Amino acid sequence: MVRQRNIINSLSPYIPGKPIDEVQREQGIDRVIKMASNENPLGNSPLASKAVEEWAKNMAQYPDGNSTRLKENLSRALGVESDQLLLGSGTDQILEYIAETYINPEDNSIMGHPSFPRYETVVKVMDGEVIRIPLTANHCLDLNAFLANINHRTKVIWICNPNNPTGTIITDSEQRAFLNKVPKDVLVVLDEAYYEYASGGDYPESIKYLNDYPNLLILRTFSKVYGLAGLRIGYAISNRDTIGYINRVRGPFNTNTAAQIAAIASLGDEAFVRRSIKTNIEGREYLYAAFKNLGLKFIPTYANFLMVKVNLPSDKVFRSLLKKGVIIRSGDIFGMDDWIRVTIGTMEENKFFIHALNEVIHER
Ligand SMILES: Cc1ncc(COP(=O)(O)O)c(C=O)c1O
């Protein structure tokens, strides 16, 4: 056997949400709904499907390695220059690129806990030190504790906004005050995977800060509101120097043609995005009311998922719901042992879930 690097012994593989067909097979049931991976329950824009079908007639050529057309479209939509953008095979891939570009073995990196688990892995893979900051009593990222933990070895700070799994946000004024205090040689990554759901009100419009804070990088994705999770496409927005450095580690054809053209088509379908956000709001309000009816505490959310306290071991609830054809996320993987995380679905899915949950919590 070839000996693996030491750090590999401390890593565990990412546990993805269970696929529907696997649950159908395992449980021997036909009706299975997935409310586990924060996907869009409405699917994706028909314009994206049409573009991919057309392209699929001839797949022989390599993709445009620079994603030129997609960058042009994004640049217009966001009001930034094309060279301020970098595309990735999902934002997941960009997380890796960021760590590869910035983390040396002597560096540390600060993140919330629980927060998106991949931050921790990408830092560790580069032999960097992970500093986990527990959430506040209100389940929010504790920015004061982030600041208190910055030292001369700190290189990258990960702000998940809204935070996955809690759905809570950092407000515009909190973010500005934080950015003012972070040293300019520390990269602040604002992971806005759920931006479209959270946008409005107190939620920051971070792009306007790019000029004043050269140490800022924003991440967004086509996996969530645009419903393209299966194609893998996300992007980073920053200043051209930062993007230029990260571009040096990027593979030549890291995003595929289907993903690029589907993303372009999706940007042109604002009606689909509006419908998706409306479905999410209606679903969220329905679930809030249903949880109140069941006497269950929940964390109000700014995203397309939410956490509810089931007052039973979360893994048991996960397995019981699975038997009834509902896939959710068990809170124990986030260190929240009697909570579950559920993705907001269509109204029909939400009702199916609540019916199943009601049975599960009264089965004891
Ligand atoms: C906070 C956060 N960041 C990043 C990602 C990864 O998204 P992508 O599909 O773009 O890789 C997710 C996906 O669940 C997420 O919740």
- Cβ-Cβ contacts under 8 Å for 157 (sequence gap 6 or more): 109, 110, 111, 146, 150, 182, 186, 187, 188, 189
Long-range contact set of residues 2-7: C-beta below 8 Å, sequence gap at least 24: 7/124, 7/125, 7/127
Average pLDDT, the chain: 97
β partners of residue 330: 340
With b for 16 or more beta-carbon neighbours within 10 A and e for fewer, the 212-243 pattern comes to: ebebbbbbbbbbbbbbbbebbbbbbbbbeebb
Contact between 135 and 143 (Cβ < 8 Å): no
User: Does residue 16 have a cis bond before it (omega within 30 degrees)?
Assistant: no
Closest residue by Cα to atom 8, ligand 1, is 90
User: Would you place residue 355 in the very low, low, confident or very high pLDDT band (cuts 50, 70, 90)?
Assistant: very high
* C-alpha–C-alpha distance, residues 241 and 361, integer Å: 53
Closest residue by Cα to atom 16, ligand 1, is 164
Ligand 1 centroid to 144 CA: how many Å?
25
Ligand 1 pocket check for 163: Cβ under 6 Å = no
User: Does residue 134 have a cis bond before it (omega within 30 degrees)?
Assistant: no
| Alpha-carbon distances, residue 260 vs 47, 76, 96, 246, 356 (angstroms) | 13, 16, 20, 19, 39
* C-alpha–C-alpha distance, residues 151 and 179, integer Å: 15
Query: What average pLDDT does range 94-102 have in this prediction?
Result: 98
What pLDDT is recorded for position 363? 83
What pLDDT is recorded for position 349? 98
Ligand 1 pocket check for 229: Cβ under 6 Å = yes
Answer yes or no: is pLDDT of 354 > 70.
yes
What pLDDT is recorded for position 36? 96
Answer yes or no: is pLDDT of 211 > 70.
yes
pTM assigned to the model: 0.97
Ligand 1 pocket check for 305: Cβ under 6 Å = no
Percentage with pLDDT > 70 across the chain: 100
State CA 295 to chain mean position distance: 29
Count Cβ atoms within 10 A of the Cβ of residue 201 and give its class: 0-12 exposed, 13-18 middle, 19 or more buried. Answer: exposed
Ligand 1 pocket check for 116: Cβ under 6 Å = yes
Query: What average pLDDT does range 141-165 have in this prediction?
Result: 98
Answer yes or no: is pLDDT of 18 > 90.
no
Ligand 1 centroid to 359 CA: how many Å?
31
* DSSP three-state, residue 64: coil
Contact between 163 and 115 (Cβ < 8 Å): yes
Rg (CA), the chain: 21
- Cβ-Cβ contacts under 8 Å for 12 (sequence gap 6 or more): none
What one-character-per-residue DSSP string does 87-133 give?
A: EESHHHHHHHHHHHHH--TT-EEEEEESS-THHHHHHHHTTPEEEEE
Beta-sheet pairing, 108-113 with 154-160: parallel
Closest residue by Cα to atom 15, ligand 1, is 193
Residue 104 main-chain phi, psi, to 5 deg: -95, 160
What one-character-per-residue DSSP string does 151-214 give?
A: -TTEEEEEEESSPTTT-----HHHHHHHHHHS-TTSEEEEE-TTHHHH-STTS--GGGGTTT-T
Angle in degrees, CA 240, 245, 250, rounded to 5: 110
Answer yes or no: is pLDDT of 13 > 90.
no
Positive or negative: CA dihedral 181, 186, 192, 193: negative
Answer yes or no: is pLDDT of 248 > 80.
yes
Closest residue by Cα to atom 7, ligand 1, is 91
Query: What average pLDDT does range 259-280 have in this prediction?
Result: 98
Query: What average pLDDT does range 2-12 have in this prediction?
Result: 93
Ligand 1 pocket check for 90: Cβ under 6 Å = yes
Ligand 1 pocket check for 223: Cβ under 6 Å = yes
Ligand 1 centroid to 147 CA: how many Å?
25
What pLDDT is recorded for position 364? 61
- What domains are there in the chain, each with its CATH number? 6-43+271-361 (3.90.1150.10), 46-267 (3.40.640.10)
